[in-house]
Structure 1
C-alpha cells in the first residue's frame, strides 16, 4: 500500500481538471479546467446551482469518473489508480445511494461498520446523526431527511480522514439540519477534513471555512465567505420608512450609495438603499430624516454569485449533471459509496 500523504500536503488537489463527454452536437463540458486546493482540517464548500459541476467534481474525487485531463489527488492518492487506499481514509455520502431498504437503521450501520478495520460504533453514529428514535425503523420507511442523515452516518462509520458530502441537507427540516451541521463540526474538531457541496447560501456561509463558487464547470471565485462578500458584493441594503413627501436628495448623495428606490403608501414612504457605507447613512437616518423601522440586509453569497456570473443563482440552475452511463473510471454503479 502506498504511503499516506504528509499532513502538510493538500487534502484535496485539483489542477486544471477537465471532464468532457461526447454528445450528439459535440462534446459536453462538465468541468472546464478546475483548480482547487483543500487544506487539511477545513470545511470546504462547493457552492453552485444544479449543473454547475459539483457532483461531477465529487465523483472525480471518488474515482468514479476519470478526468479527461488534469491532475487529481485526494490525501496524496490518485483516486482512480489507488481506489483501495482511498477506501480506507475517505467517507463519501452521495446524493443517492444503493442501500438495503429492508434493514433497520441499526442493522445497516452494523453492516457498513463490518467493512472497515476500525469503525465507529453504530450507536455512536446513530446518536450523532439524531436517529435514536429511528434506530429500529426500516430504511424504506424513513423520511427524506432521515434518509439523508443515515447516508451521512454511513460515511462517518469508517472514521474517515476526509468526509465528502454531496448536498447532505436536502429534504431536512431546520432541527435535522442543525444536527447535521453539529456532526460536521464534530468531525472537523476531531481532526477531519470536510468537502461539502451545496446550493444553500445559508449553509455555505454558516458552515464553511472557505467556499468555491462554481458556474458552468469553472471556479468563478474562491475564498472565505466573508472575503468573497467583502470583495465582490460589499454593499448592504438598508430598508427604512419616512413620512410621505420627505426629500430623499441627501440620501441619494450620501457616501457609498449606489441605488435608492422608494414606494409611497398613504402617509409614509418605504425606502430601500444600497450602500457600501451604511455607517455614514445612519447619521442621516437617525437625524434629519427621522427614519423608522430601519433594517439592514447583508448582500450575502447570492449577490456574489450574481455579480460574478451576471445571472441569479436560480437562473443559473437550468443545467443538469451528466448521466451515470458516462461513468468510465469503474464498473461500479453510480451512487454506491466507495
Structure 2
C-alpha cells in the first residue's frame, strides 16, 4: 500500500466546459491530481475522457473554466507544458529502421535535460532488444519503447492512453510493473483506460466520467465500498440436498441454484456474506464445497454508471486527500 500524504497539486481542473458548436462534450469537471499520484480516467466511449486529457496537455482550449498544469495554462503555454509533460498515445509511429537505443537517443536529443537513453532502455526492460529495429519488436516491446520515448525527456507528468490495450497477459503485467515504478520515482501518471482491472491495480484514485461529468471520484476500494451494498456467495452441494434447508441458511439473501456436473451450484446474494458462510459451514447436513465470495468490483460500478443517464449537478472540486491509506481490492 502507498500512504497518500498531504501533497502538492500538479494538475488542477476547475469548472471545465468544452463545447463543439452546440454539443457540450465536457460539462463542468473539477478535480486535482497530486504529485506522484497515479490518477485514472474511466468511462464509456463519448464520456469526455479524451477531451479532458486534450485540455490538460494543451491540445484544446477550454470553452469555460480553467486548467493548470504545474501552475501553467497548458493551451497558452504549449512549449512550457511539453517540457514537463509527456504523452504516450495508444498507438504511434516509430522509425522502422532505427533500433531501440537509436530511437531513444533521437528523442533524447529533442530535450534539454534528457535522461541517459541507456538507463531508459533498462527502465523499460528492453536490454535484450536494445539493438533490435523497432519494426521487429513485438506488440508489448513496442509499447514499452513508446513509454521509453515518453520517459527519456525526464517528465514530471506522464499521460498514458490505454497503455495495455491489445497486450497479452504477460506483457500487460510487465507494463503495469513499469507504471508502478514511476510512482516510486515521484512521477505523476494520468491514465485513461477501459480496463477496470488495470484501474483497480494501478490507480490511487479514479474519476468515472459519464456524459461529460465526473460521476464518481475516489480510490478504487472506496468507490466499490460506497456503491456495492451486497456480495455474492457461491458454493456446490449434492444434488439431493433439501432446498428448504438451503433457503433457511441463505437468510438474509436471495438464493438461486443451477445444475453443474450432477451437483447443485448455489448462489446467494446477501448484504452479510460472513453470516451466510457461518450458517452454511456450521450445518453438517449441507456438505458444501467450492466456496467463492465475490464482492462488488469497479467493473460492476462502471457498467451500472454507463447505463444510467447522469443528470446530477456538477460535483464540487475533488481535492486531494489529506491523509489516508490507499487500499487494493
Report the TM-score, using the length of structure 1 for normalisation. Answer: 0.82
Q: How far apart in 2 are the matches of 1:28 and 1:98? A: 31
**Corresponding position: 1:113 with 2:112:** no
The answer on whether the counterparts of 1:148 and 1:170 sit within 8 Å (CA) in structure 2 is no
Shift of the alpha carbon at 1:209?
0.7
1:139 aligns with 2:134: yes
CA contact (8 A) 1:121 1:157 kept: yes
Kept in 1, the 8 Å contact 2:210–2:305? The answer is: no
SS in 1 for 2:177: helix
* Aligned counterparts, 1:219-298, within 5 A: 219-244=214-239, 245-247=241-243, 248-254=246-252, 257=253, 259-265=254-260, 267-288=262-283, 289-298=286-295
Within 5 Å, give how 1:1-338 maps onto structure 2: 9-22=8-21, 27-244=22-239, 245-247=241-243, 248-254=246-252, 257=253, 259-265=254-260, 267-288=262-283, 289-310=286-307
TM-score normalised by structure 2 residue count: 0.84
Alpha-carbon distance between aligned partners in 2 of 1:227 and 1:163, rounded to the nearest angstrom = 25
Task: Tell me the distance in 1 between the aligned counterparts of 2:205 and 2:155.
Answer: 20
Flag structure 2 segments of 5+ consecutive residues without an equivalent: 1-5, 309-329
- Is the CA contact (8 Å cut-off) linking 1:63 and 1:80 kept in structure 2? yes
Give the C-alpha shift of residue 98 in structure 1. 4.2
Number of residue equivalences: 299
Tell me how far apart the structure 2 counterparts of residues 302 and 128 of structure 1 sit (CA, whole Å). Answer: 31
Q: Aligned with 1:153: secondary structure? A: helix
In structure 1, distance between residues paired with 2:204 and 2:83:
25
Are the aligned partners of 2:43 and 2:306 in contact in 1 as well (CA < 8 Å)?
A: no
Select between 241-250 and 104-113 the one with higher mean Cα deviation: 241-250
Task: Flag the 1:134–1:228 CA change in 2: closer, same or farther, 3 A.
Answer: same
Q: CA 1:217 to 1:142, structure 2 compared with 1: closer, same or farther past 3 Å?
A: farther
Q: Secondary structure at the match of 2:197?
A: helix
The 8 Å contact of residues 251 and 276 in structure 2, kept in 1 or not, is answered as no
Contact kept, 8 Å, 1:54 with 1:214, in 2: the verdict is yes
CA–CA distance in 1 between the matches of 2:146 and 2:232? 39
Per-residue CA deviations over 1:111-136 (Å, capped at 9, x if unaligned) read 11111122111122122212223222
- Structure 2 Cα separation of the partners of residues 249 and 147 of structure 1: 54
